[in-house]
Each structure stands twice: as C-alpha cells, then as structure tokens.
Amino acid sequence: MIGARSIAEPTIKDTIIHRMDPRAKILILISTVFVAVTLDNPETMLLLFLIILSGFALARMPAIKLKTLAILLTLLIWGTIYSQALFYSQLPRTVIFTIISPDVPVLGWLTSGGLFVYAEGLHHGAIQGLRSASILSLGLLMCWTTDSRDMLNGLVGLKVPYSAAFMVVTAVRFLPIIITEVLTVVTVQRLRGFNPKRFGSGIVKTSLNILTPTLSNCVRRTGTLAVSIQSRAFRANPDRTYLKKLKFSEFDKAVVAVCIFAAISIVLIKLLYNMYTGGIYYSAGLRPVYALARGYL
C-alpha cells in the first residue's frame, strides 16, 4: 500500500532535473505540448520521446515509478495503435489482415462489412501514440521531481491566480490519498470474502463497493479542507509571502530558451507548409522551409 501511494508522490533528490526551477519545468512542458501536437514525422516524434525519457535517467527515478511509467506507456501506445489500426476511416486504406470477413453470417453484418487491420491505421496510431506518450512522460517527470509547494510557487510565479494554482496543487496532492483509500477498501473487501479479480458480477459488485466509500471519503475530506482554509483567512490578504524564493539558473534559462525557440519555429514552419499545401500562400524563397517541414516535421 505504501509503495502504491509513493507512485503518485514526488521523489525528492539532488539531481539536475530536481534542481530546475518549477517555472522552467512548466514552460518546458507547455513548449513540448505545442511541439508534440504540431509534429507528424514518426522519426522526429520518436526522437522527441527518447529525449524526454532521458530525463528519467538524469532524475534517477526509483524502480517502482519506472515500472509504472512502462505500464502506462505500453497501455497508451498499444491501445492507440490497436484502435487506429481497426477503425481507421481515412482514404486510402490498405488491408493487411482480416479479422472478420464480410461473408461471415451475422458478424459481417454487425461490423458493417467486416473488421480489418489497416496499414495506414497502424502508422497513424503509432504517431498518435508517440504524441500522447511524450506529453504523458514529461508531465509525470515534472510531477515526480517537483515538490507541491514548489509547484504552487512556480504557477504563481507564472502569473496564475493563486486560487487556481492552489486548486491544481491540491488536486495533485489528493491523488495519493485517493489511491490509498481505494487500496484500503479493496483490502477490507478481501477480508469479507470478495474476490476483486473475479470476472463477471464480482467485478461490478467490487467496483460499486469501492466507489461508494471512496467518493464519500473524498467529499468529507473536501469539506474539511474547505473549512480549514477558510478559517485561516484564505482570501483575506491578496499580498502573500513565500518561504522559498524562486530563481532561474543559467541552465534553466538556456533550456527554456531552446524549448520556446524550438516550439515557435516548428509551429511557424508547419503553418507555412500547411498554407503551401492548402494553396493559400507560396513563395519560392521558402522552398528550404517546405523541404524541412516535409522531410523532418
């Protein structure tokens, strides 16, 4: 139970990733989201994904969090590729495997002409999977290497309203508590003779028995928290002081500058390329830009 709760809590160490300013981590995450959404080239997407994964090595993440990351990425990438391969709707489509033939009675009619695995769907699913995996990995790296108070200071330092920043950090802090409560309820159910892994009605009954006490405890904790922060005059004084002063290091400034420059450049290049392919705007002087976008972005 302690191990499961530690998955959602940050691991504080003295590494180059942990020492980064929380504002720098947030800006890097925002820049990476723009880059990941803009890119379409699978090789470049894979390079971005590997660069993000190298951050976990630099942060020396514990084994339990690496296992959690591996499970989440496997489910995310495999689920995206599998769903896109089966339900890819764009044209052209190349069938590489038939799961249900249109000639099969009943099933062929229920699936509206059969069920196939499309080559273009696999390619599209791989790109979408890498895009989601990159954003998920960097988000987890930021949460696992940043203390909650530092994250709150970072959001406030980026001019996010204090109330909104406080709600975000509180929601993140609630996650390990909810995990612990779910595991406690499962343990109690096992002691009463339930088998949470049994298929059929056992899963439905167990899920309902987990949801009810967990939800009621969350509502109770939320009410207690609301009374606590209001009794301490949460909104009484808009000017707040902080125990820890944030300061960008030279490394933080360099990494943030590179990430923001790369994000702006990639978005502009893709915008110019899309205007060219859409017949909106073309300039002969921008041919190297078009070639760069077509070949690497």
Residue 264, pLDDT score? 93
Residue 222, pLDDT score? 84
Residue 262, pLDDT score? 92
8 Å CB contact between 26 and 142 = yes
CB atoms inside a 10 Å sphere around CB 273: 19
Residue 43, pLDDT score? 87
Q: Cα(126)–Cα(84) distance, rounded to whole angstroms?
A: 9
Residue 269, pLDDT score? 92
In the chain, domain spans: 2-147, 160-230, 264-296
Residue with tokens 């993440």: 61
- Which run of H or of E encompasses 132? helix 119-144
Residue 3, pLDDT score? 57
- Which run of H or of E encompasses 97? strand 95-100
pTM of the model: 0.78
**Angle separating helix axes 42-59 and 119-144, nearest 10 degrees:** 20
> Looking at the chain, how many residues does it have?
297
8 Å CB contact between 152 and 166 = yes
Q: DSSP assignment of 236-291, as one string?
A: T-S----SS-----HHHHHHHHHHHHHHHHHHHHHHHHHHHHTTS---GGGHHHHH
Which residues of the chain are under the pLDDT cut of 70?
1-6, 194-203
Please choose, from the candidates 34, 58, 211, the residue with its C-alpha nearest in 3D space to the C-alpha of residue 134: 34
Q: In angstroms, what CA-CA distances link 165 with 9, 149, 169?
A: 18, 10, 6
Contacts of 130 (CB under 8 A, 6+ apart): 42, 45, 46, 48, 49, 77
Please choose, from the candidates 169, 151, 167, 156, the residue with its C-alpha nearest in 3D space to the C-alpha of residue 21: 151
- Residue 156, helix vs strand vs coil: helix
